[in-house]
Structure 1
Amino acid sequence: MKRTHPTSLIACVIAGAVIGYLGELLLVTSGANAVVPPLSLPITLVGVAAIVLSLAWPIRRSVTGASTRRVDPFRAMRVAVLAKASSLTGAVVVGLGLGIVLFLATRAVVPNPGTLWLALATALGAAVMLAGGLVAEWCCTLPPDDDDEEHAHA
């Protein structure tokens, strides 16, 4: 499995922003209320980041030799995939939050400041989840072998 590339994260943020903005525009033009993310969403996103990091930390300790416990490689792969999924999902939700903020900020009628703060808090919570996923993904990578470096230079 390859590490998450920055271009895929940027594409996910842009796609999320477009979906968030156009989704709000579609709702408001059809006569429905704009969707405002609840306060529990950014709290949950930060919680998911903490859980992913707590799952990846023992793997990092084992990889670096700080722990003598052996880690199941299947568990390590599952945590790595969870970390990658967390970073990509965090990128999409960052875009959604920013798209909602952009939509609400560009309206002719000034929205309640609380709605802007909730959408911005969602984007910040998702950014924490994105960063946590990237750090956890880094924790699950193996350092290069000394034998591989010797063969590459020979």
Structure 2
Amino acid sequence: MGSIRFGWLVFIALVAGAAGWLVNWGATRNGFPTPSLPLSSLLTIAAVIAVTLIFGLRVRRWRNGNSKRRLDPLLAARTVVLAQATAYAGALSAGWHAGILADQLTWVSLTGNFGPIWGSVALIAAGIAMIVVGLMVESFCKLPPDDDAGADESRESGEGEYA
């Protein structure tokens, strides 16, 4: 399993931003509402961030030797996948709402409606928080390098691999 690639996060955010801008442009000019998530979705995003952090902290505690219980390898693998999914979903959400924000800023002087703007800003911030937590929890799941092993031996011992 590979690590999260920062370039992919940027690419996903840019493509989602362009799509969000285009869909919002078409929707608002044809009388449809802004295609953004409601503010109540921030509760769901907070729950995803909390669960990801809780599982990540369990893996980190085991990795640092502070846990007496053995770590279930399946839990560690699921935690890495959850962290990566959280980061990619955060990039998608932040990009989508950044595109909506870009289009809504052109309309605010005409409509005077700041609701979609503040909603987009809140969801962009939540998306960025998802990216940060995803990257952080993924780093929790990586095994530390083995100091007393040689360069060839460290590759075999699992250095830089997931717990």
TM-score by length of 2: 0.85
Q: What residue number does 1:24 align with?
A: 24
Q: What residue number does 1:7 align with?
A: 7
Counterpart of 2:119, as a letter, is L
Identity of aligned residues (%): 31
Aligned residues: 153
Q: What residue number does 1:51 align with?
A: 51
Matches within 5 A, 1:43-122: 43-107=43-107, 109-122=110-123
Report the CA distance between 1:47 and its aligned residue.
2.2
Tell me, what secondary structure is at the counterpart of 1:109?
Answer: helix
CA 1:6/1:96 → structure 2, altered by over 3 Å: closer, same or farther? same
Contact 2:36–2:97 (CA under 8 A) maintained in structure 1: no
Q: What residue number does 2:142 align with?
A: 141
Q: Which runs of 5+ in 1 are unaligned?
A: none
Q: Deviations over 1:30-89 (max 9, x none)?
A: 332222431112232122111101011111110111112111111100110011011011
Higher relative contact order (CA 8 A, sep 6+): 1
* Ranges of 4+ aligned residues in structure 1 off by more than 4 Å: none
Q: What residue number does 1:41 align with?
A: 41
